[in-house]
Amino acid sequence: MSTRDLTLADFETTVTGDGIVLVDLWAEWCGPCKQFAPTFEASSEKHPDVVHAKVDTEAEQELAGMLQVRSIPTLMLFRDGVLLFNQAGALPAAALDDVISQAKALDMDEVRRQIAEADAHPDELDLDTFAAAHAQGAFVLDVRQADEYASGHVPGAVHIAMGDLPAHLAELPEGERVHVICQSGGRSRQAVGYLQSQGIDAVNVTDGTGGWIQRGWPVES
User: For residue 121, what pLDDT band results from cuts at 50, 70 and 90?
Assistant: low
- The answer on 113 and 57 residing in a single domain is no
- Decide if 160 contacts 173 (C-beta within 8 A): no
**Pairing state of beta strands 139-142 and 51-56?**
unpaired
Give a yes or no: residue 127 inside a domain. Answer: yes
Is the same domain home to 87 and 114?
Answer: no
Q: Provide the pLDDT for residue 123.
A: 80
Same domain, 124 and 42: no
Does 219 reside within a domain?
A: no
Give Cβ neighbours of residue 70 (< 8 Å, ≥ 6 apart): 88
Q: Which one of 84, 105, 126 terminates a domain?
A: 105
Whether residue 84 sits in one domain with residue 144: no
Q: Which of 6, 22, 23, 33 is the catalytic position? A: 33
The pLDDT assigned to 2 comes to 80
Separation of alpha carbons 82 and 111, rounded Å: 9
Give me the domain span that covers residue 176: 108-214
90 and 141 housed in the same domain = no
Q: How far is CA 204 from the centre of its chain?
A: 16
Q: Among 105, 140, 173, which residue terminates a domain?
A: 105
As a whole-number percent, the residues of the chain with pLDDT over 90 amount to 70
Residue 114 and residue 68 in one domain: no
Query: Which one from 30, 96, 99, 138 is the annotated catalytic residue?
Result: 30
How do residues 163-217 score in pLDDT, each as one tens digit?
899 999 999 998 899 999 999 988 999 899 899 889 899 999 999 999 999 988 9
Pairing type for strands 74-79 and 20-26 reads antiparallel
pLDDT of residue 117: 67
Q: How confident is the model at residue 111 (pLDDT cuts 50, 70, 90)?
A: confident
Residue 47, pLDDT > 70, answer yes
Q: Is the pLDDT of residue 25 over 70?
A: yes
> Percent of the chain, pLDDT > 70?
97
Is omega for the bond preceding 73 within 30 degrees of 0, making it cis? yes
CA dihedral 67→72→75→76, nearest 10 degrees, is: 0
Within a domain: 168 = yes
Across the range 140-148, mean pLDDT stands at 96
Q: Model confidence over 57-103: pLDDT tens digits?
A: 999 999 998 888 889 999 999 999 888 888 889 999 999 999 999 99
CATH of the domain at 36: 3.40.30.10
CB 188 within 8 A of CB 204: yes
220 is a domain residue = no
CATH classification of the domain holding 129: 3.40.250.10
| Domain count within the chain | 2
Residue 182: active-site member: no
Burial 76-109 (b: 16+ CB within 10 A, else e): bbbbbebbbbbbeebbeeeebbebbebbeeeeee
The residue among 79, 105, 131 that closes a domain is 105
